[in-house]
Amino acid sequence: MTYNTISNYPEERRNITHGWCYWDDAFTTEELDKACAYFETQGLDKGKLVGDEGNNVRVSNIKFYNWDPKNENTAWIFQKMNNVITTINNQYYGFDLNGYNSFQYTEYEASEKGKYDWHMDTILGGHKPNNFIDTRKLSVTMCVNEPGDEYEGGEFQINNGIEKECETITTKKGRMIIFPSFMIHRVAPVTKGKRKSIVVWVEGPKFK
């Protein structure tokens, strides 16, 4: 594995896989507001689980945006995310990645008790749809509005093996949280307002 940068904390690369990392300020406030203004013109669908018609595990409204270099409203979002994902993967994970061809814009409404209960993004064995060729390896979630000001609740939590000791990760507008897709995580119920986020699943060959 060839790293793009070296680290002054080389022990970080010798440790076991990090449960999560984050990156701030890849997007400006103005850029996020611009993105949200576009998303609001495009409509939303009810969020579902892969291969399921929907249940109470996930209560959200979503819209997928596919990579299209000619779409000036979204291409720049992919490009900015690509830079962060590549750097984080090189420094902390070293996963064999192919990439991703879409991102998901998600809204969790307090009026709908929006949430996403404990789950992992990697899809295993017989649960994997036929059109899923690669394995989800890295997940990215980024709030595009401000916790506390525009919504309450909706905490992002990762379960490191014991649910009662789960870790609540501090979120803020524009913070990209990157974690292995096999980590169990959730979005707690939103209690006020509307939580908005962009989510990416980066794929690659199966782990070995």
What pLDDT, on a 0 to 100 scale, did the predictor assign at position 127?
Answer: 67
In 26-175, DSSP assigns E strands to 45-46, 58-59, 61-66, 102-109, 115-119, 135-143, 151-153, 156-159, 167-169
CA gap 88, 180 in Å, rounded: 11
What pLDDT, on a 0 to 100 scale, did the predictor assign at position 51?
Answer: 55
* Strands of 184-187's sheet in order across: 58-59, 115-119, 184-187, 156-159, 167-169
The two beta strands, 151-153 and 135-143, are unpaired
What pLDDT, on a 0 to 100 scale, did the predictor assign at position 35?
Answer: 97
What pLDDT, on a 0 to 100 scale, did the predictor assign at position 160?
Answer: 85
In the chain, DSSP assigns E strands to 21-23, 45-46, 58-59, 61-66, 102-109, 115-119, 135-143, 151-153, 156-159, 167-169, 176-180, 184-187, 190-204
What pLDDT, on a 0 to 100 scale, did the predictor assign at position 5?
Answer: 63
Residue 29: its H or E element: helix 29-39
What pLDDT, on a 0 to 100 scale, did the predictor assign at position 1?
Answer: 37
Q: How many CA atoms lie less than 13 Å away from 135 in the CB half-sphere?
A: 15
Provide the whole-model pTM. Answer: 0.89
Q: What is the pLDDT along the chain (208 residues), one digit of tens a residue?
A: 344 566 787 776 666 678 999 999 999 999 999 999 999 999 999 987 765 555 678 999 999 999 999 999 999 999 999 999 999 999 889 999 999 999 999 999 999 999 999 999 998 876 666 677 789 999 999 999 999 999 999 999 999 888 888 999 999 999 999 999 999 999 999 999 999 999 999 999 999 8
What token pair was written down for 104?
Answer: 């998901």
- CA angle, 49 then 124 then 115, to 5°: 30
What pLDDT, on a 0 to 100 scale, did the predictor assign at position 91?
Answer: 87
**Domain architecture of the chain: domains with CATH:** 18-204 (2.60.120.620)
